[in-house]
Structure 1
Amino acid sequence: MDLDDLCFHVNSKISKIKKTLQLRHIGQDPSLNNVLSKVTYEMHLLCELLNKVETEVQRQETVAKSLKELQATVERDFKEASHLGDNIPPHLPKKCPNSNSVPGEAPPVDVKVVVQEPAKKPVKEKHIKEMELITVQEFANVPAYMKNRLTYEQINHFIEDLNKAVVGKYKIMHQPLKTLNNVARKQLGRFKEEETQDTKGQFFIVEQDIKEFTQVKVDKRFHGMLSILRHCHRIRELRRKGIVRYLIC
């Protein structure tokens, strides 16, 4: 530090001491009392305002943090929903649109009064019992040695194929004999020969039905999938006279 810097430093200290001495006696001047009171009041208001600003800033920071968390949650849910939308299992049932309706067009309203003939009583269609699809939880509980390399989707496709055989067989059995062609009549004869006292009131198929109504190959993989269906209580086997009957549970 040179001499000029030292002089500047000393003069600055002397100036501050003079101002302090002047302010020390300002409260004793009656003419300045009102000014000091106003300054004190304004300082008090300023402190309150600063406290409110600080509180609001803290609140806004909390809101901003919550909004960021909400944004992250929405983005995660959107990704999951998009993934589900792009990977809908093909075996899920889909709503069949009305063939007479036009997309985006409201159904027409018929305002005419028409005297209709008495409607004939509809023929009640007989119910055909089908296997329910395997759930994800059920498939997870299947022992690994049964699954081998089979997937959840493959098992449910297999169930859908077996249901085709069930429906194909029992539609023939529920039709009047006179409406059947020669092939269907021969099939009906075989169906009745395969029935026993134990199958009365039950829905079942045999390997021949699977061959005739589906494209499923009766091989080692076929029997492996049947083991999973037995484990999940979708079918049970009944062996009589050299024929294995797969009863729908």
Structure 2
Amino acid sequence: MDSADLEDLCSHVNSKISIIKKTLHLRNIGQDPSLTSVLSKVAHEMYSLHDLLNKVEKEVRYQESLTNSLKELQGTLSRDFSEATHLTENIPAYLPKKASSSNSAPDVKTEVVVKVTEPEPAKKPAKEKIIKEMELITVQEFGNIPAYIKNRLTYDQINSTIEEINKAVVGKYKILHQPMKSLSNNAKKLLCRFKDEETKDTKGQFFIVDQDIKEFTQVKIDKRFHGMLSILRHCHRIREIRGKGLVRYTVC
């Protein structure tokens, strides 16, 4: 055996002996009555420290959960803000504009000279006949439309279709309300068709057919348009009257 190996072995044995001596010394101390109270206090402090560490761990878990909830809330608020900004920047043109305040003072004062003249006998105006038009869909109504009916159609697309249908209704009934002698030949042909399409069920109603939409608008009568009609029926904007091989879209 080399001297180096012998020295290592002696060092290892001496280390073990030292550990055994320390262990015996500590055991003797533990059996000393004068140190029992000190050891009891140390044990109590250890238990207290362990309990405190458990509370700290529980608080850390709670704070992590709270942080995750706040991150989710932040994400929701960011999406809502983006949607609100988009709506603000894309307000439909057909919505009413905010009236200007009447209290605002004009920049330039102008004098108005009113001339008082003898009024001429007023002619009795002809009674204007009112043409019923569909009301636009509100945001709340759009939100309540089932997804299977709405499909991918947007709020603006639906209201644009309503405006086009109203054009056809107005175009048709302006011809119906004019005297026959004031109509052009084409308008007279249309008037005859309008009369032929009327039934006892349409009396007093405002309605159009597919041909009227083709006549007065650029709307295509396709699958997408019929999807729009399903939404308008669901929102009680139109109802259908069938007969003589025609579907009549009546304004509700």
TM-superposed CA distance for 1:132, in Å, is: 0.4
* Cα 1:108/1:86, change in 2 over 3 Å: farther
1:143 aligned to 2:119?
A: no
Of 185, 197, 204 in structure 1, the residue corresponding to residue 200 of structure 2 is 197
SS at match of 2:137: coil
* Cα 1:114/1:166, change in 2 over 3 Å: same
> Within 2, Cα distance between the matches of 1:198 and 1:154?
30
* Cα 1:105/1:244, change in 2 over 3 Å: farther
CA offsets, 1:68-102, max 9 Å, x none? xxxxxxxxxxx999766532112324599xxxxxx
The one-letter amino acid of 1:146's match is I
> Within 1, Cα distance between the matches of 2:111 and 2:207?
45
| Paired residues for 1:113-132 under 5 Å | 113-132=116-135
Aligned to 2:160: 157
Q: May I ask how many residue pairs the two structures share in their alignment?
A: 167
> Within 1, Cα distance between the matches of 2:241 and 2:111?
54
Of 164, 180, 185 in structure 1, the residue corresponding to residue 183 of structure 2 is 180
Contact 1:126–1:174, Cα closer than 8 Å, also in 2 = yes
Contact 1:91–1:157, Cα closer than 8 Å, also in 2 = no
> Within 1, Cα distance between the matches of 2:228 and 2:84?
31
Contact 1:165–1:205, Cα closer than 8 Å, also in 2 = yes
Which blocks of at least 5 consecutive residues in structure 2 are unaligned?
1-81, 100-105
SS at match of 1:221: helix
* Cα 1:212/1:230, change in 2 over 3 Å: same
Q: What is the root-mean-square deviation of aligned Cα atoms in Å?
A: 2.8
> Within 2, Cα distance between the matches of 1:241 and 1:216?
24
SS at match of 1:244: strand
Sequence identity of aligned pairs in percent? Answer: 74
TM-superposed CA distance for 1:169, in Å, is: 0.3
* Cα 1:108/1:206, change in 2 over 3 Å: farther
The one-letter amino acid of 1:216's match is V
TM-score scaled by length of structure 1? 0.61
Of 215, 223, 226 in structure 1, the residue corresponding to residue 226 of structure 2 is 223
Please list every run of at least 4 consecutive aligned residues from structure 1 whose deviation after the TM superposition is greater than 4 angstroms: 79-85, 93-96, 103-108
Which blocks of at least 5 consecutive residues in structure 1 are unaligned?
1-78, 97-102
SS at match of 1:115: coil
> Within 2, Cα distance between the matches of 1:107 and 1:177?
48
> Within 2, Cα distance between the matches of 1:163 and 1:211?
13
Contact 1:230–1:236, Cα closer than 8 Å, also in 2 = yes
